[in-house]
């Protein structure tokens, strides 16, 4: 399949999080992009919060060769949106996934690098802040499904980025002016994230101009 779409992923519920806000945000971004973002279609994928979802759902979606991959997850203790700059080749055996499964080993990919970076993270951080989102940089995507799925997606030859959002009322910083002060953060964040998708599309075009 020819590259051309933006893949937006979120996660479904897990114990303690019956309604995952990352799923809601991913669907909102997909709805905003129903006619395309920056001239290319958007596809939304909601992953089960289980390690098996990586080979069963994520890898087939990556095999369709998206132009860019924008991933969203929830961080239970976060107060603001976190832009993840890297994923580590590490897992944790302290916490089972939603199906009760633990990772087989502490290394996600036996032959893979110690970490993988997202070069677009800084530009995405600037873009979110420009749109009024109080985003912060992060170099720790955790050792759970968010990190595992991010590490796998970063192996692809396309722009990939992971955003961690708080469990409720994602961080938002109103700018000056009464109109912006009245703006609803829940409406602002999807549009800001969709703008990040446009930024990733530009990066994809530069990377693969053909």
Sheet containing strand 82-84, strands side by side: 42-47, 6-11, 68-74, 160-165, 82-84, 136-138
Q: Are 116 and 159 in contact (CB under 8 A)?
A: no
Is a pLDDT exceeding 70 seen at residue 112? yes
Model confidence pLDDT, tens digit, residues 59-108? 999 999 999 999 999 998 889 999 999 999 999 888 888 888 988 888 99
Which tokens hold the place of 18?
A: 């019956």
Q: Which two tokens stand for residue 108?
A: 């996600």
Over residues 138-194, the pLDDT tens digits come to 999 998 999 999 999 999 999 999 999 998 754 444 444 444 444 455 579 999 999
Tell me the Cα Rg of the chain: 16
Q: Shortest CA distance to 81 belongs to which of 6, 8, 7, 186?
A: 186
How many Å separate Cα 33 from the centre of its chain? Answer: 16
The predicted pLDDT at position 33 comes to 73
Residue identified by tokens 């945000």 is 25
């Amino acid at each position: 399949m020819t590259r051309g779409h933006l893949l937006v992923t979120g996660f479904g519920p897990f114990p303690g999080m019956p309604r995952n806000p990352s799923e809601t945000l991913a669907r909102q971004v997909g709805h905003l992009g129903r006619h395309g973002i920056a001239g290319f279609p958007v596809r939304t994928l909601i992953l089960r919060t289980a390690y098996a979802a990586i080979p069963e759902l994520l890898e087939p979606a990556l095999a369709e060769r998206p132009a860019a991959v924008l991933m969203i997850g929830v961080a239970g203790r976060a107060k603001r949106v976190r832009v993840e700059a890297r994923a580590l080749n590490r897992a944790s055996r302290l916490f089972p996934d939603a199906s009760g499964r633990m990772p087989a080993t502490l290394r996600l990919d036996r032959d893979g690098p110690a970490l993988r970076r997202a070069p677009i993270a800084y530009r995405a951080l600037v873009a979110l802040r420009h749109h009024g989102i109080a985003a912060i940089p992060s170099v720790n995507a955790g050792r759970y499904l968010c990190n595992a799925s991010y590490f796998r997606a970063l192996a692809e030859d396309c722009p990939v980025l992971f955003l961690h959002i708080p469990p409720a009322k994602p961080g938002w910083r109103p700018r000056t002016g009464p109109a912006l002060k009245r703006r609803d953060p829940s409406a602002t964040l999807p549009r800001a994230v969709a703008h990040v998708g446009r930024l990733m599309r530009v990066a994809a075009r530069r990377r693969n101009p053909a």
